[in-house]
Amino acid sequence: MPANLPPVYHTAEKRYRQANSPEEKIDALREMYAVMPKHKGTDKLQADIKRKIAQLKEQAKKAPAARQVPQWVIEKVGAGQVPVLGPPNAGKSAIIAKVTHADVRVAEYPFTTQVPVPAMMPFENIQIQLIDSPAWSEEFDVGWLPELARRADACVLVADLSDELADEMIAFILDRMEARDVVLVGRVPDEREGFEVCIPTLLVGNKSDAPGAENVLRELEARFGDRFPLCSISIAQEDGLSEFKRAVFDVMAITRVFTKQPGKEADLGEPFVLPSGSTVHDLAGKIHKEILANLKYARLWGTSGRFKGQRVGEDHVLADGDIVELHTR
């Protein structure tokens, strides 16, 4: 029987695969357990998860707590964590400096950035956490970059349009990632097998102002156009920046929803951020487990509804910008 697991389950499962410590793993497994539908089809999965939690608890007891947090583990804040990866000199730091207010180093010489540097990119009503990263190439192998990518919600892969070999540089990075079971793809497939972690990725050609950039972009399109969404920008000429921000948001595959209390105005401040495909049920679970347990129905304003204030059930799939009024028993 198919398990029909909700997107929130897959998000938690991904968190489990990305976890670095037994504690983090247990936390993710607990969430997977909490959000999964409990029926015959998930009996085995429920038992598996319980067993794994028990095993990890044992493991955590044996391994003492004095673990050092590796430098590539950066606390997630905002709507999602998005490392910016690419070969030397592609303009990774320049992009981040332009779209965030961070003071990252941009330089004529390669390998300026040695440690991951987080910075927040505002996009409409949310903040996306970009991470500047060291350049990665055959001459300079940064072993922990796959670990940074593995934990990410999405990646931005920057190609240098002033470099005729840009596509080779990108192919190198993709290969090295895959060797560590991190697969960068435009859209993560729904059903997956194996140990690989798929990370949704946007390919960006920077330096569209450079001579010959058009040809390099065409090559990238031919080689990777089926695999990734591709956008072309110039930081030097501030060209394509708003399209870039929108493309980062799109590749993250998230839905922003607002909540409102019955009889009151909606709170249009900070939205709840959920994986695309999430339902009213998932939203309730994200807010509070009491609300989830007592959920009766919801009223909905927004593009996923047929009319304003439409009454919908738990399984209703939410759309970006929806306003939801949850009704409990």
Ligand X SMILES: Nc1nc2c(ncn2[C@@H]2O[C@H](COP(=O)(O)OP(=O)(O)O)[C@@H](O)[C@H]2O)c(=O)[nH]1
Q: Which is nearer to ligand X, 88 or 146 (CB)?
A: 88
Select the binding partner of residue 94 from ligand X, Mg ion, none (C-beta < 5 to 8 A, by kind): ligand X
- Contact criterion met (CB below 8 Å) for 313 and 299: no
In 207-317, which ranges are E strands? 230-233, 254-259, 272-275, 295-301, 310-312
Q: Which is nearer to ligand X, 107 or 115 (CB)?
A: 107
Select the binding partner of residue 209 from Mg ion, ligand X, none (C-beta < 5 to 8 A, by kind): ligand X
Which residue in 252, 85, 71 sits closest to 157, CA to CA?
85
Q: Which is nearer to ligand X, 36 or 230 (CB)?
A: 230
CB of 253 to Mg ion, least distance (A): 27
The residues with which 231 forms a beta bridge, in sequence order, are: 204
Q: Read out DSSP for 2-26?
A: -----HHHHHHHHHHHH--SHHHHH
Which residue in 27, 6, 5 sits closest to 16, CA to CA?
27
> Would the CA dihedral through 60, 63, 65, 68 be positive or negative?
negative
List interacting residues with ligand X (CB under 6 A).
86, 88-94, 106-108, 110, 112-113, 135, 206-207, 209-210, 234-236
Select the binding partner of residue 91 from ligand X, Mg ion, none (C-beta < 5 to 8 A, by kind): ligand X
Listed ranges 28-36, 73-81, 93-101, 239-247: which one lies at the site for Mg ion (CB under 5 A): 93-101
Report the Cα 8 to chain-centroid distance in Å: 13
- Judged by CB under 5 A, the number of residues near Mg ion is 4
Which residue in 152, 133, 149, 43 sits closest to 87, CA to CA?
133
CB of 231 to ligand X, least distance (A): 13
Select the binding partner of residue 206 from Mg ion, ligand X, none (C-beta < 5 to 8 A, by kind): ligand X
Select the binding partner of residue 7 from Mg ion, ligand X, none (C-beta < 5 to 8 A, by kind): none
Select the binding partner of residue 107 from ligand X, Mg ion, none (C-beta < 5 to 8 A, by kind): ligand X
Structure tokens at 240: 């394509």
Cα 104 to Cα 119: distance, rounded to the nearest angstrom = 9
Residue 65's contacts (CB-CB under 8 Å, 6 or more residues apart) are none
Cα 125 to Cα 132: distance, rounded to the nearest angstrom = 22
Q: Which is nearer to ligand X, 236 or 266 (CB)?
A: 236
Q: Which is nearer to ligand X, 88 or 271 (CB)?
A: 88
Alpha carbon distance, N-terminus to C-terminus of the chain: 31
Select the binding partner of residue 236 from ligand X, Mg ion, none (C-beta < 5 to 8 A, by kind): ligand X
CB of 115 to ligand X, least distance (A): 13
Q: Which member of 18, 89, 93, 232 binds Mg ion (CB under 5 A)?
A: 93
Q: Which of residues 97-116 bind Mg ion (CB under 5 A)?
A: 112-113
CB of 213 to ligand X, least distance (A): 9
CB of 121 to ligand X, least distance (A): 15
> Would the CA dihedral through 17, 19, 21, 27 be positive or negative?
negative
The footprint of Mg ion (CB under 5 A) covers 92-93, 112-113
